[in-house]
Amino acid sequence: MRLKALIFDVDGTLAETEELHRMAFNRAFADAGISWYWSRTVYGRLLKVTGGRERILAYTQETGTPGIDAAALHKAKTGYYRQAMTGSAIALRDGVERLIGRALQQGLALGIATTTSRSNVDSLFQATLGLDTLDRFHSVRTGEDVSVKKPDPEVYRLVLEDLGLTAANAIAFEDSANGLKAATGLGIRTVVTPGIYTAEDDFAGADCILDSLDHLLTPQDASAHCCPTLFPANWH
């Protein structure tokens, strides 16, 4: 089936954002007078729970902490994340900008399928490619649009519906086992670029695992990395 769309996860795939998320969580805890601190080790484990509010709830249960208002804490965290993103020198992962440019050049549709909120997607684009680039995405679906977050495929289903396409027309880009499950749950072919927190995840079922999306942009590289069959011959 003809390739018509590329659908991107955000956190970990477009950019390594999880350290900013972690710092924002910790700042929200400190400001609320809660004595939690999520180290990298703890956060790496907690990332298996997708969604920031859900992650707070899971930790509340795990630690048996009384009196936690997960929704309020998560709202504060989102504010701190925006602030941190605004002042940060965050960079997109290798190959992301060129891949988006190539897709637009080739007339492919672009989608976003993420667990995070729309405001966090906006913050990242504001700090990197600009909101005008985000406007060129034909579908942006977030954790706020779904009743169940990844690994459930709902967010991908919404993006495909928006685009009026089937799974066979799209390729998804993910960095985590939860994201991979969400995309492949609908039969979408998936390229995985493992990130700092997901290197040890199980990526069985991925069509291609790359350390960088740069490899998709030159023919020799793509052949060497098992991707030539995913993209049309005129792709490079």
The binding site for ligand XBP (CB under 6 A) comprises 9-12, 18, 21, 50-52, 114-117, 120, 143, 150, 176, 178-179
Q: Which is nearer to Mg ion, 68 or 192 (CB)?
A: 192
Smallest gap from Cβ 131 to ligand XBP, in A, equals 18
Q: What is the largest CA-CA distance in the chain?
A: 58
By a kind-dependent CB cut-off of 5 to 8 A, residue 193 interacts, out of ligand XBP, Mg ion, none, with none
Catalytic residues: 9, 11
Give the chain as a 3 state SS string: CCCCEEEECCECCCECCHHHHHHHHHHHHHHCCCCCCCCHHHHHHHCCCCCHHHHHHHHHHHHCCCCCCHHHHHHHHHHHHHHHHHCCCCCECCCHHHHHHHHHHCCCEEEEECCCCHHHHHHHHHHCCCHHHHCCCCEEECHHHCCCCCCCCHHHHHHHHHHCCCHHHEEEEECCHHHHHHHHCCCCEEEECCCCCCCCCCCCCCCEECCCHHHHCCHHHHHHCCCCCCCCHHHC
CA dihedral (177, 182, 186, 189) positive or negative = negative
Find the residue with minimal CB distance to Mg ion.
12
By a kind-dependent CB cut-off of 5 to 8 A, residue 142 interacts, out of ligand XBP, Mg ion, none, with none
Residues at the contact surface with Mg ion, assessed by CB under 5 A: 9, 11-12, 175-176, 179
By a kind-dependent CB cut-off of 5 to 8 A, residue 114 interacts, out of ligand XBP, Mg ion, none, with ligand XBP
Q: Which is nearer to ligand XBP, 80 or 231 (CB)?
A: 80
Q: Which is nearer to Mg ion, 9 or 207 (CB)?
A: 9
Smallest gap from Cβ 202 to ligand XBP, in A, equals 15
Q: Which is nearer to Mg ion, 103 or 172 (CB)?
A: 172
Smallest gap from Cβ 179 to Mg ion, in A, equals 5
By a kind-dependent CB cut-off of 5 to 8 A, residue 128 interacts, out of ligand XBP, Mg ion, none, with none
Q: Which is nearer to Mg ion, 68 or 121 (CB)?
A: 121
By a kind-dependent CB cut-off of 5 to 8 A, residue 207 interacts, out of ligand XBP, Mg ion, none, with none
